Amino acid sequence: MTHSFQHSQPIYTQIMEIFFQRICRGELGPGDKLPTVRETAVEVGVNRNTIQRSYMEMERRGVVETRRGQGTFVTTDIELLERLRQELARNQIFLFLENMRQLGYNPFEIMSMINSSMQAKEDTNS
């Protein structure tokens, strides 16, 4: 998997956000080991230092912990992970509302469209 990155944002933050997604979706659970800096560098096709910086920034936020000579691990602080999940959700909502607004939808229309969309889904499931 070689990723394509946006020009508008630093690569290291984009990589960080990819990991945040993986963690909040449960692909990486509390205490799980992240791939090594070198592995991730090869995987996404960027320099080791850039990955290093992503990991550093994640550690600064407390989302991961690094153990010298062993690797980098998702924190076991579940409350912090829950706060992260809420933050990502808020971001999703913000971007979504902004996109819808640009398409000319007002809050009321948005709510009703989501409602019908979710009901359609439920009908499919039942």
Contacts to DNA by CB under 7 A = 5, 7, 10-12, 34, 36-39, 46-50, 52-53, 55-56, 59, 66, 68-72
Q: How many CA atoms lie within 13 A of 82 on its CB side?
A: 3
Q: Is 92 in the site for its own copies (CB under 8 A)?
A: yes
- Report d(CA 88, CA 92) in Å as an integer: 6
> What x-and-dash track marks residues 61-90 binding its own copies by CB under 8 A?
------------------------x--xxx
The minimum distance between CB 72 and its own copies, in angstroms, equals 19
Distances (CA, A) of 54 to 12, 68, 111: 5, 16, 36
For 110, phi then psi, to 5°, come to: -60, -50
The minimum distance between CB 95 and its own copies, in angstroms, equals 8
Q: Is 17 in the site for its own copies (CB under 8 A)?
A: no
Distances (CA, A) of 60 to 19, 75, 104, 118: 14, 12, 39, 38
Q: Is 42 in the site for its own copies (CB under 8 A)?
A: no
Please enumerate in sequence order all residues whose Cβ is within 8 A of that of 36, keeping only pairs 6 or more positions apart, or say none. 71, 72
The minimum distance between CB 11 and DNA, in angstroms, equals 3
Residues that bind its own copies (CB under 8 A): 2, 4-7, 21, 24-26, 60, 85, 88-90, 92-94, 96-97, 99-100, 102-105, 107, 110-111, 113-115, 117-118, 121-122
